[in-house]
Amino acid sequence: MNQEPVLNEAKKTYSCPMHTAEHILNQTMVRMFGCPRSMNAHIEKKKSKCDYLLAEAPGVGLLEEVERRVNEVIDRHLPVTIDFLSRKEAAGIVDLSKLPDNASDTLRIVRVGDYDACACIGDHVCNTSEIGHFKVLNWDYAEGRLRLRFKLTE
């Protein structure tokens, strides 16, 4: 039985390449800075932004490294797959702290190859080769919040 809705709410519709790039960016930030996934995101086809909680502002070199690492993952041409797991199974794989109270007991887990796994109801590409090139446009840091603005290019 293939159940689609998982979070008991309408499925979000995003630009598939941009939304998948957000997953890769989130995992890159977690790995590089030890911070949680984005606390706030606005994902659009032309440009997007994500906010991260960081103890201090990263330098230009670190943000260039974020961009490089995101593109390195994209260039691996990883498959993007979906699994349906119980909350208990999912808890051992993904952070469920942002899960809404009304989420169902079966969760939709989106995996970007061996790089990222996240409970998500959005649309994604089938392979990272469909994303394009990730480019950080600009950023600002204030009161512990880093806001990254980015786009995708061919």
pLDDT tens-digit profile of 78-111? 999 999 999 999 999 998 988 888 889 999 999 9
pLDDT of residue 98: 85
Whether the per-residue pLDDT at 124 is higher than 80: the answer is yes
CB proximity list for 93: less than 8 A, separation 6 or greater: 85, 109, 117
Domain count, the chain: 1
Instruction: Round to whole Å and give the CA distance between 83 and 90.
Output: 10
Q: How large is the average pLDDT for residues 137-152? A: 97
pLDDT of residue 112: 98
pLDDT-above-70 percentage for the chain: 91
Domain that holds residue 106: 16-153
Residue 113 lies in a domain: yes
Residue 10 lies in a domain: no
| Averaged pLDDT of the chain | 91
pLDDT of residue 13: 56
pLDDT of residue 16: 95
Residue 92 lies in a domain: yes
Q: What angle do CA 97, 18, 4 make, to 5 degrees?
A: 55
Q: Which amino acid is at 45?
A: K
pLDDT-above-90 percentage for the chain: 83
pLDDT of residue 17: 97
Residue 5 lies in a domain: no
Residue 8 lies in a domain: no
CB proximity list for 151: less than 8 A, separation 6 or greater: 46, 47, 48, 135, 137
Residue 100 lies in a domain: yes
pLDDT tens-digit profile of 22-53? 999 999 999 999 999 999 999 999 999 999 99
CATH number of domain containing 70: 3.30.980.10
CB proximity list for 1: less than 8 A, separation 6 or greater: none
Q: CA neighbours within 13 Å on the CB side: how many for 105?
A: 1
